[in-house]
Chain A
Amino acid sequence: MGSVRLNRPVSAVVPGDAGYLMVGEDGGAFSFGDVAFFGSLADHPPATPVVSVALKA
């Protein structure tokens, strides 16, 4: 992520078994390791910042 230019700051992260998911205030999602990507809000940024993210078991 250090080399990625973000539109908005990362605002939350949640761990998986061997990875994690980061999300930005604009709803951008960045998955790493064993956490799969299922979509983001990047194409339709929310009116207010994303403040929390949680994985479904």
Chain B
Amino acid sequence: MWTDANVLCGVGSLYSDARPGLNNINNGSAPMYARVDAACWDYAEGHELMHTLGAVQSGAPHATAAGHCWDEPDEMCYDDGSGSTMVTVCTGRNPALFDCNHDDYFYAGVPPAVSWLASHWNTYNSSWLLRAPLPAVATVPIPAGPSGSSTGTGTTGTSGTGSTGTGTTIGLPQPTLPVPPIGPAPVSHSSGYWMLTADGHVHPFGDAGFFGQPYPLPGGARAVDLEPSPSGQGYWVLDSAGRVRAYGDAAPYGSVTASGLDGGEWAVSLSATPTGAGYWVFTSRGRAVPFGDAGFFGDASGLHLNRPVIGSVATPTGQGYWLFAADGGIFTFGDAAFFGSTGALRLNQPVVAMAASPTDGGY
């Protein structure tokens, strides 16, 4: 289902059942669901639907412990925080494709006898996938009559080598709030701009230069923020896993490692210091992580947040910053002044961005 909400990226049902036969629980024996929130529409559907088809089983050769895989690039592979190290195995492959080397969850046909899929659940065999030729003429479905309703009864597997009946939901832990915010200090007489898309593409306009881009990102990670260097001859790109990539004359000062993020926490924005010799990475739980010459002026990680922090703006002096949350809550640190917030208002739509005035006298 597509949900007009921005709580998560996506989530899908998955039963732990590696049995190869059509009585596999993931083959329609029980209700299963996939949900994709607004910011990930047109992005995460394939991933979540593949979960509901039964991927990735924990016994697969390259499975993580949380329903994904680690042999990238692969639509189902990303660092899901369960302890696996990502390895690029299928170099140059489109990351939107399923199953690198077709040995973990999808083999189109009869897998070789040596393949794990030869004796375990291969989603290619799912009854939900259309493998027959399409009819020459489309037929109009006939609605069921008044007696056409049915009552489902749950089925649990009772035989085979796979464990059965262990339903779970597997989600993409990235931010789903559509916008990572802004960061740069106000700019005079701009001569161009960059746009960053969630899959890591950088699009320059005007005389803004192209210095590189993180596309394709490791499975599951999403680009969340682009911050130019002071000269405009480079930029940093932050992804939801906290990785910072530097391009052009922007220097790398470090990243927030996966182990530095708590479960359900993701990086949301990056703000550079005025010198360009450092930056802060901010997370959805309101943490501020300074690098280079960026100072630490406090953060909101100790506060109970009604909604996640979705962005930050550094003050022009580099001696403070604002954090803002999806409900319009504003948190000020250092020399950032508070001029009000919408945290107490009921909003029709979540806040998605914030910009500070050039005079530092408002936002």
Partner-B contacts on A (CB < 8 A): 9-18, 20-21, 23, 25, 27, 29, 34-36, 38-41, 46-57
Contacts and interface: CB of A to CB of B under 8 A. Distances in A.
B192 A15 contact: no
B86 interface: no
Interface string B325-355: 0000000000000000000000001001111
Query: DSSP class of A's interface residues: helix, strand, loop or mixed?
Result: loop
B198 A49 contact: yes
A56 to B, nearest CB: 4
Nearest to A27: B195
Interface residues of B, number: 50
CB-CB nearest 5 A-B residue pairs: A38-B206, A48-B198, A15-B355, A55-B190, A38-B205
Given A11-B353, A38-B192, A54 B178 contact: no
Interface string B193-205: 1111111010101
A17 B179 contact: no
B11 interface: no
10 contacts: A20-B355, A41-B195, A46-B197, A48-B199, A52-B224, A54-B226, A56-B187, A56-B192, A57-B188, A57-B231
Nearest to B230: A57
Contacts, number: 152
Query: DSSP class of B's interface residues: helix, strand, loop or mixed?
Result: loop
Interface in B107-158: none
Contacts of A9: 38, 178, 349, 352
Nearest to A14: B182
Contacts of B188: 16-17, 57
Find the residue from A34, A46, A48 having the highest chain B CB count within 10 A.
A48
A57 B232 contact: yes
A48 B43 contact: yes
B186 to A, nearest CB: 5
A55 B353 contact: no
Given A14-B355, A15-B186, A38-B205, A56 B232 contact: yes
A10 B352 contact: yes
B304 interface: no
A18 B187 CA distance: 10
B220 interface: no
Contact of A54 (B38, B184, B222, B349): B184
B182 A52 contact: yes
B183 interface: yes
Contact of B193 (A10, A47, A54): A54
B358 A14 contact: no
Contacts of A38: 192-193, 205-206, 208
Contacts of A36: 190-191, 206
Contacts of A12: 179-182, 352-353
Contacts of B223: 51-52
Nearest to B356: A15
